[in-house]
Amino acid sequence: MYKVKVFVTLKESVLDPQGSAVKGSLHRMEYNEVQDVRIGKYLELTIEDSVQDLDKSVREMCEKLLSNPVIEDYRYEVEEVVAK
């Protein structure tokens, strides 16, 4: 089995209103050292060994469903898990 960790983030040029709201809250809580907050998604996919081409499969899933390529970037890490 593979555990694939996918990180989906807004592109640099795209405004992040959710991140700005969190930054505002942190400042109101006196965490003035926080300069910026950007919020993304983190997904963990568990994928069977039987998959033909893991990288192709993950890239397709990211591009078709998990991210919006117009405004988001994604990257992923693969970990092999030994079944118990």
Instruction: Return the structure tokens found at 11.
Output: 């592109």
46 binds its own copies, rule: CB under 8 A? yes
The residue type at 7? F
Q: Smallest gap, in angstroms, from Cβ of residue 41 to its own copies?
A: 6
Q: Smallest gap, in angstroms, from Cβ of residue 23 to its own copies?
A: 9
78, 49 Cβ separation under 8 angstroms: no
In the complex with its own copies, the residue whose CB is nearer, 11 or 41, is: 41
d(CA 28, CA 74): 31
7, 74 Cβ separation under 8 angstroms: yes
Residues that bind its own copies (rule: CB under 8 A) add up to a total of 34
44 binds its own copies, rule: CB under 8 A? yes
Residues in touch with its own copies (CB under 8 A): 1, 7-9, 19, 22, 25-26, 29, 31, 33-48, 50-51, 57, 60-61, 64-66
